[in-house]
């Protein structure tokens, strides 16, 4: 048996209550190991996005503790369902933005943007503006904008939820390759929110199933080595894991569901 990876992030008995007493997270404890790919799966309103915001440092818990084993200035690569590109700016300018904000050198910036665009398959669209791109291409640009800072931690909130299945499969594959070790370094860590059982199983090493009000009710290991490709989706092992996760999701969704 292999040792669990060192925890990069952890939440211990975290509660997040909003004004008016709305409980987004009742009691969440979880940890994400360095280099792990973990998905959060659960019915709408069970607190998945709230967990991501807490992990990013954009929000603070009402009670409980959060530990981040990251340098204080480490910025996560945050990717949302809405690609949130600047509509007037080219793909290149959009992807360059995080580097501009950090005051990078022009030549070095160009190199990093070119490399990020190549990694997501958008090298030929650098001069296009967002209205000229398909939904999948916009999401590729959004991934490149996060990738350009070489994030050690990716926080992804249903990034592919609005895409058709073929595009989603292609982007799943791209995302896995982006998280793989670069230049002999360590793999990136990813926390991925999704409503799709198939996507969670395909991408993750662990699927955390959440129930309302905000808590983790299952922690399912997807013990299949990377790299994974389309062939994995066609295996009996994939089907069995999807059935297991789907069953856990159904049980979790039945708890705390509105009458
Ligand atoms: N800023 C806020 N103020 C008040 N309530 C909030 C706020 N943010 C989230 N909530 C509530 O907290 C609960 C959890 O929300 P959250 O967005 O984390 O759920 P989710 O699992 O990501 O949902 P979905 O799958 O629909 O995106 C919901 O009931 C939501 O209405």
Predicted local distance difference test score (pLDDT) of residue 107: 85
Which of 1 and 187 is assigned the larger pLDDT? Answer: 187
DSSP structure class, residue 70:
S
Please, which pLDDT band fits residue 247 given cuts at 50, 70 and 90?
A: very high
Predicted local distance difference test score (pLDDT) of residue 224: 96
CA of residue 237 to ligand 1 center, whole Å: 33
Partners of 38 in the beta sheet? 191, 206
Q: Is 145 in the pocket of ligand 1 (CB under 6 A)?
A: no
Give the ranges where the chain is alpha helix by DSSP (H): 48-56, 91-101, 106-119, 135-147, 165-179, 197-203, 230-233, 236-254
CB-CB contact of 49 with 28 (8 Å): no
Residues 6+ apart with CB under 8 A from 73: none
Mutate-to-test residue for ligand 1 from 14, 15, 49, highest number of ligand atoms within 8 A of CB: 49
Q: What is the pLDDT of residues 58-100, one digit of tens each?
A: 899 999 999 999 887 788 899 988 989 999 999 999 999 999 8
Q: What is the pLDDT of residues 194-205, one digit of tens each?
A: 999 999 999 999
Predicted local distance difference test score (pLDDT) of residue 55: 94
CB-CB contact of 39 with 194 (8 Å): yes
Q: Is 46 in the pocket of ligand 1 (CB under 6 A)?
A: yes
Predicted local distance difference test score (pLDDT) of residue 257: 60
Q: What is the pLDDT of residues 9-23, one digit of tens each?
A: 999 999 999 999 999
Q: Is 49 in the pocket of ligand 1 (CB under 6 A)?
A: yes
Work out the average pLDDT over 52-56.
Answer: 94
Q: Is 50 in the pocket of ligand 1 (CB under 6 A)?
A: yes
Predicted local distance difference test score (pLDDT) of residue 109: 87
Indicate if ipTM > 0.95: yes
Mutate-to-test residue for ligand 1 from 47, 81, 191, highest number of ligand atoms within 8 A of CB: 47
Q: What is the pLDDT of residues 127-171, one digit of tens each?
A: 999 999 999 999 999 999 999 988 999 999 999 998 999 989 999
Predicted local distance difference test score (pLDDT) of residue 258: 58
Lowest mean pLDDT among 172-186, 187-201, 215-229: 172-186
Q: Is 18 in the pocket of ligand 1 (CB under 6 A)?
A: yes
Q: What percent of the chain clears pLDDT 70, i.e. is strictly above it?
A: 96
Predicted local distance difference test score (pLDDT) of residue 5: 66
Closest residue (by CA) to atom 2 of ligand 1? 18
Predicted local distance difference test score (pLDDT) of residue 26: 97
């Amino acid at each position: 048996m292999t040792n669990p990876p060192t925890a990069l992030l952890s939440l211990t008995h975290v509660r997040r209550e909003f004004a008016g007493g709305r409980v987004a997270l009742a009691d969440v404890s979880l940890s994400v190991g360095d280099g792990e790919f973990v998905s959060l799966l659960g019915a709408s309103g069970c607190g998945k996005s709230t967990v991501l915001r807490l992990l990013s440092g954009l929000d603070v818990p009402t009670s409980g503790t959060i530990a981040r084993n990251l340098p204080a200035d480490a910025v996560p690569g945050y990717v949302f369902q809405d690609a949130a590109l600047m509509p007037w700016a080219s793909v290149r300018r959009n992807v360059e933005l995080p580097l501009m904000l950090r005051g990078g050198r022009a030549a070095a910036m160009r190199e990093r943007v070119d490399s990020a665009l190549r990694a997501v398959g958008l090298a030929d669209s650098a001069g296009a503006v967002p209205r000229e791109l398909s939904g999948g291409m916009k999401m590729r640009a959004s991934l490149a904008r996060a990738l350009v800072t070489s994030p050690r931690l990716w926080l992804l909130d249903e990034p592919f939820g609005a895409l058709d299945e073929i595009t989603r499969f292609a982007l799943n594959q791209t995302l896995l390759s982006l998280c793989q070790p670069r230049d002999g370094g360590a793999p990136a860590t990813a926390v991925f929110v999704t409503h799709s059982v198939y996507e969670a199983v395909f991408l993750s090493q662990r699927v955390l199933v959440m129930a309302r009000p905000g808590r983790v009710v299952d922690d399912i290991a997807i013990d299949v080595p990377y790299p994974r490709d389309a062939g994995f989706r066609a295996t009996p092992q994939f089907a069995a894991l999807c059935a297991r996760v789907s069953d856990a999701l159904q049980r979790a969704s039945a708890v705390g569901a509105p009458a």
